[in-house]
Structure formats: structure tokens, C-alpha cells
Amino acid sequence: MASLELIASTNCFGGQQQRYQHHSEVLNCDMKLSVFVPPQVQLSHRLPVLFWLSGLTCNDENFITKAGAQRVAAELGMILVAPDTSPRGDEVADDEGYDLGKGAGFYVNATQAPWDSHYKMYDYIVEELPALIRDTFHCKAKFSIAGHSMGGHGALVIGLSNVQQYMSVSAFAPIVNPMACDWGKKALTAYLGEDKTSWQQYDACHLLQQQGQFLQVPMLIDQGLADDFLDSQKLTRPFEQIAKQINYPAEINYHSGYDHSYYFIASFIENHLRFHYRHLMSQ
Amino acid sequence: MASLELIASTNCFGGQQQRYQHHSEVLNCDMKLSVFVPPQVQLSHRLPVLFWLSGLTCNDENFITKAGAQRVAAELGMILVAPDTSPRGDEVADDEGYDLGKGAGFYVNATQAPWDSHYKMYDYIVEELPALIRDTFHCKAKFSIAGHSMGGHGALVIGLSNVQQYMSVSAFAPIVNPMACDWGKKALTAYLGEDKTSWQQYDACHLLQQQGQFLQVPMLIDQGLADDFLDSQKLTRPFEQIAKQINYPAEINYHSGYDHSYYFIASFIENHLRFHYRHLMSQ
């Protein structure tokens, strides 16, 4: 396995904001990755790690430049890992739309041409990256995972499907039912084909309905009520309905006046970090 | 005088992150402006206002998306005003370089063609914008002013030259001696011509040397020691030398490992806001 190569590092809140590049065997291309390393890395104990999955059009830098998460991560001693949202490079298939192809990997393993040669974001996030992070940092065995919008979808799906690897899951304005909204249907059709049974493993509502009574992971969701995509792209609410039906212990908070932007994320990220920290430290 | 027209607003840390547009008579073009309005705007008292001047290549949005200043501003009840860094629009003269023309107004009043028909950023920041802010918000009579790099230059020059209007001044990695560095010489030559006596009013070191013993304003400067531009672009150090010579009461802090980026600003912006708040509330 190729290791992470440090390409940039600067101090930030007493820790270091770093950027790495590496060759991804799973994605079959070179990738960049942002990591915040807190000052506590100089101590001998294993640090808690939070993975952050970003939304459509983002790369590995949006979260680390806009969310203001480093302040609390530095206080708690938490490593933040922010991957890119798709494979990258000239040989990687793309689409004219912002919601398919580069910047829009949707955290699935594509099975359809021309996407299937690179778009394996599910395996990249769940398998390859955790191994690279464990190789590079002295960290706790289990991680937590969070994300925004398309990345909220990724965090919920990955967290619900891998309870052995993640201590807790959280999301801002997640796409919870991609099988039933325009963004999701476009991406799942392109990456997985017309057979909707192959979509179900990537639909948080479907997973919760199927598994939520047996496999549970601590979960926190925040949703702005001034979010332009709330109803049209199936954010949060269909998931909340199922959680109520099956008594799934998710904390779901709505906030009037907040939209889909990083101003919303910045306003509530501290609570997410403290939520994950509590669970990460209980292992 | 044309008033500010609200073009965007979303909740942020319990307050509102807003964006305005207006026709600037001074700049002879339409301008955009970002303003953070804290939750305390609903109370009846006059709010403290901090102006933030951004650096080269920035517009009115860099500070508000990257510095994470809204959290503390919301706690303190402080309005943040972030103007653009130059006149804008198709009719405004520009240059191929990132360090001249649009995004690089240098907070001066240009006297040379083709710049003199729009590039009057000094008057825009010192006269037109304060009047518009007083017209729009219920705020305290005197402001404070801060900035980064080219904007740190602007904050120091404007604060030193207008002690009747500003309660306090602060800067991150300011260009303190533009008469003696490449960025400054290029801009001042273009905007003001070859006669260097016309440059002196825009050189913080010159102003401090001339006036610092008679006109004083509370001042805070932070400087990263891993800043690539520290020596070449005359950041902070020449100003510190003069301040020491004349016993000027500026607090100047150096930080090892911090570079010229917004990660540096985000790490220390809280201290700047609290510094300005103390002085703003003493009026």
C-alpha cells in the first residue's frame, strides 16, 4: 500500500493543518487529503479520529477552510480527516453537471461504464483510507464519521453499514433518501444502473428500515429549516419519520433561519465534535 | 447617498450573515459588502462595529467564510463589516497581475490614469462606508478597524490617520512599509505616480515615525514566523522597530510555525475581537 506523502503543513490553533497526496489503489488515481493534527499528537496516547465527508462540488479543502472545526479539535485532541469527494485526474470520467462525476462520487462503488474504473468511493472511505490513517497516525482503533449533504448521506450509509468500525455518526442536512430525489436518482442510475435493488445498500432510509432495530450506532443530525433543498432533495425528514417508527435513538435537531451553507455547519460543528469525542473516548 | 440593498442573509451563530450591494459614489461603480449582524441587534443599545480589510486577491467574502469570527462576534454583540478590496465591474481598469487592479486597491486614492476614475478605496473605507453603516445600523459612534496583509496595511494607515474615528486598530501580517517592498512599490507607482512624497501618507512606518509620539491609537499586531512574505514584503518588523524607538504602545506578537493563510487568522481572531471590544465599549 502506498503511504501518505505530506505536501503542505502549517500551524493552526496550536496543531497542524496538513495536506497529503497518495496513490489510491482502490480509486486507481492520485488523491489529495486534508488532515488536522491536534497538538496532543506529541503525547503518547492514541488519538480519536473523525472522518468528514463533504458535499457536491467540494474537495478535501472546503471543510477545513470554512467550518472552523480546528479550534475544538485542538482542545479535544481529535484528528480530523477530510477526503476528496470523488476520484480525480485527467483519465477519470466526468460529466458536465455539478451533481455527477468529479466532485460528486456519492460514496458508492460504481458498477457501470464509464464510471466503474475509478468511482469506488465507498471502498476508498471504508477500507483504504482507514488503513492509511492507522498506518500514519497513532490513533484509536474505531473512528467516527460525519458529513454534509451528499457527505451526510455518505456518513449515514457508511456508519449504518459498518457499526464495527464507527463509534458514532453525524450529519448536517443529509440526503437521506437518494432513491427518491433528483440528485440521488441521477447519480445512482449512472453509477449503478437501472436496477433499483442495487441502490438500496446506499439509501440511509432503506438501511434504517431494514437494520435499525438490530444494529444501532449513536447518531446526531442537524438540519436548517431555511435550506433550499430540504424537501426537494429529501433531507433529514424521511429518515426522522422512520427513526420515530422504529424507536431508533437518533438525535435530530431543526434550526429555523439556517440554510445549506457552511455558515450553518460552522454554527453547530462544535456540538458534533463534542458528541463524537464522548463516544470515541468510550472505546 | 444610495443606501445598502440586502441581497443575501442566513442565520449564523444565532445572528445573521448578510451580503449587501450598493452604488458607491466615491468609487463610481456598484459594490458588494458582507456584514455579520449579531443576535444583540434586537436589543435597543448601540452595537460596536469592527471593519475588516482583506488582502490581495480577496473580495468581501474571504474573511466571513474562512476566519470563523462570527462565533465570538455573536457572543460579544459586535457587527463585522467586510468590504471588497477594490472597485469592481467591466468599466473598471485592471491589470494582469494579482497585485494590481481589481482585488488589489491598496486602500489608497489613485491619482494616475487609468486608475484615478475608480480606485479611491481610502475615501470609500474612511468616509462613504462608515456613513452607510451608520445609516443602516444602530451602532456606536466610533469604529475599530482590522485587516490582513494588504488589508493590515490599510488598517494601520487608516487607523493612524483617523484617530478621531477609530477606537483601536489591529492587523495580521500587515505590509507596514509599502514604499520599500515589491508589492507596495508596484501599486504605489501605478496608483500615485513616481513622486514618492505622495506615497508617504500610505506608509504605516512613515506615519508612525511622523505622528506616533503625538497621535496614538490602541494597536495589536500578530505575525506568523513561517510567513513566506515576512521579510520580502516588509511585514510587521520595520514597524516594530520604530514603535520601540518612539515607545509607541503597540502589542506585537510573533508565532512560530504560522504562515500567511487564514489558518493563522482563524487561530488568533478571537483575541483581536476581544481587544477591539474592550476599546469599543469604552466610548
Q: Can you give the C-alpha Rg of chain A in angstroms?
A: 17
Structural domain of A275: 5-280
Contact list, B70 vs chain A (CB under 8 Å): 263, 266-267
CA dist., res. A39 & res. A32, Å (int): 22
Q: How confident is the model at residue B205 (pLDDT cuts 50, 70, 90)?
A: very high
Q: Is the pLDDT of residue A35 over 90?
A: yes
DSSP B108: -
Nearest beta carbon to residue A258 from set B10, B70, B224: B10
* Chain A residues with a Cβ under 8 Å from any Cβ in chain B: 10-14, 16-17, 65-66, 68, 70-71, 224, 226, 255-259, 261-264, 266-267
How many independent structural domains does chain B possess? 1
Q: Is the pLDDT of residue B2 over 80?
A: no
- 8 Å CB contact between B37 and B79: yes
Q: Is the pLDDT of residue B207 over 80?
A: yes
Q: Is the pLDDT of residue B44 over 90?
A: no
Contact list, B17 vs chain A (CB under 8 Å): 263
Q: Which has the closest alpha carbon to B220: B274, B281, B141? A: B274
CA dist., res. A163 & res. B243, Å (int): 59
- 8 Å CB contact between B148 and B187: no
Provide mean pLDDT across the span B7-33. Answer: 98
- 8 Å CB contact between B192 and B178: no
- Half-sphere exposure (CA, 13 Å, Cβ side) for B281? 10
Provide mean pLDDT across the span B38-54. Answer: 95
Nearest beta carbon to residue B11 from set A10, A68, A257: A257
In degrees rounded to 5, what are phi and psi of residue A193? 95, -175
CA dist., res. B82 & res. B102, Å (int): 16
Provide mean pLDDT across the span A178-184. Answer: 97
What tens digit of pLDDT does each residue of B209-248 get?
A: 999 999 899 999 999 999 999 999 999 999 999 999 999 9
Whether residues B266 and A13 touch (CB distance < 8 A) is answered with yes
Tell me the CATH number at B91: 3.40.50.1820
Predicted confidence at residue B229, as pLDDT, reads 97
Q: How far is CA B21 from CA A270, B84, B208, B232, B273, in A?
A: 32, 11, 35, 36, 25
Residue A135, C-beta contacts closer than 8 angstroms, at least 6 positions apart: A1, A3, A4
Provide mean pLDDT across the span B173-185. Answer: 98
Contact list, B11 vs chain A (CB under 8 Å): 224, 226, 255-259, 263-264, 267
- 8 Å CB contact between B264 and B63: no
Q: How confident is the model at residue B42 (pLDDT cuts 50, 70, 90)?
A: confident
Q: Which has the closest alpha carbon to A240: A216, A222, A213? A: A222
| β partners of residue B171 | B147, B221
- 8 Å CB contact between A169 and A144: yes
Whether residues A256 and B11 touch (CB distance < 8 A) is answered with yes
CA dist., res. A121 & res. A109, Å (int): 6
Tally of CB atoms within 10 A around A39: 14
Across chain A, mean pLDDT equals: 97
* Chain B residues with a Cβ under 8 Å from any Cβ in chain A: 10-14, 16-17, 65-66, 68, 70-71, 224, 226, 255-259, 261-264, 266-267
Tally of CB atoms within 10 A around A231: 10
Whether residues A266 and B70 touch (CB distance < 8 A) is answered with yes
Q: Which residue has the cell 484617530?
A: B163
Question: What spatial distance separates the first Cα and last Cα of chain B, rounded to whole Å?
Answer: 27
Q: Is the pLDDT of residue B1 over 70?
A: no
Provide mean pLDDT across the span B80-103. Answer: 97
CA dist., res. B144 & res. B130, Å (int): 11
Provide mean pLDDT across the span A76-85. Answer: 98
Q: Is the pLDDT of residue A1 over 80?
A: no
CA dist., res. B174 & res. B54, Å (int): 10
Q: What is the DSSP string of A65-128?
A: HHS-THHHHHHHT-EEEEE-SS--STTS---SSTTSBTTB-TT-B--STTGGGT-BHHHIIIII
Amino acid at A60: D
CA dist., res. A79 & res. A76, Å (int): 9
Cell numbers for A111, please give them.
Answer: 458498477
Predicted TM-score (pTM) of the model is 0.95
A260 is an active site residue = yes
Cell numbers for A103, please give them.
Answer: 466532485
